[in-house]
Amino acid sequence: MFRLRRAPLLQVFVPSPEGDWLSDTSVLECEAELKRAGVLHLLRAGDVVWDVAVGDEANVGRLVWDGAYLIDLDYTYSRVGDPPRYLPTLAFPPSYFHRVIRTMGTGNPVVRIDLSPWADQIKANLQLLQDKLRMDTPQGGRHTVVRWVHRSSFVVRPPAGSKSIRLPMPHTAGPGPSPTGAWIVDPDWFGTVVVETEGTNEGLAELQARCKGPLIPRRGQQLTPEQQRFEERRMVFRILREKSRPGEIWVRIVSDKERIIL
């Protein structure tokens, strides 16, 4: 199944002896099935493969091609799975995995973005604001909730004289999703990105820490468990679909309280 600007969904039929959870052997067999079908060499990073033999509940049986291998979804912040943490979100349109990889609750998908290249813009545009939300009541009515949020924004655009923004990737990474195989920021991200977090001192500190980039331990030292947990969530956000529109994408910081896998 294929739609423009959405992730292709390829189906294979590989019975899994382990049930809903695909073992490494089953994943390799899915790759072998794609090779036998003559389509393995046509896959691009971000393509989704669904083992229909496992079932159709949530994202059961869904795997993502990373440019070299099929990899499992990430279950750190969702019981049904999110796109793998190793795929740079900015390389794909914001709605690329919509309805191909299903989301829970509000439908706001998890994305991973490194804020450090835009730290100066975020610092300059930071505001503490009141935000009004319309909430449904158990009785069927609606009421307004007022909360404080820290909100900022930055502009994603190519540098002068260029039409693209290259993403840093390890040398072991496979080809990217662009037509040339490069890992670059998808043009659908060009424009303004609004980022918000809780209007507390802790929320502000979290945003500021994320703008500093990755934590690098001193020579001979290792990151503390707390630093490791921060590094794991440093780039984790949710797209706010109800606020986003072309040219303006809204994201919210995902806190450690939303973590499912401890």
Q: What is the pLDDT of residues 9-36, one digit of tens each?
A: 999 999 988 877 889 999 999 999 999 9
pLDDT, one tens digit per residue, over 113-130 is 999 999 999 999 999 999
Half-sphere exposure of 107 (CA within 13 A, CB side): 10
Read off the amino acid at residue 1.
M
Q: Could you tell me which residues are beta bridge partners of residue 111? A: 237
Pairing of strands 236-239, 248-253: antiparallel
Residue 127 CA to residue 100 CA, distance in Å, equals 35
pLDDT at residue 1, rounded to an integer: 61
Left, alpha or beta for 34 (phi > 0: left; psi -120 to 50: alpha)?
A: alpha
In the chain, the N- to C-terminal Cα span, in Å, equals 35
Mean pLDDT by 10 residues, the chain (262 residues): 84 88 92 96 95 92 95 93 93 95 88 96 97 75 85 96 93 91 96 97 96 86 89 94 96 93 68
Q: Taking a C-beta distance cutoff of 8 angstroms, is the pair 82, 101 a contact?
A: yes
Transcribe 202-223 into DSSP letters: HHHHHHHHHTT----PPTT---
Q: Is 33 helix (H, G, I), strand (E, B) or coil?
A: helix
**CA triplet 61, 103, 169: central angle to 5 degrees?**
75
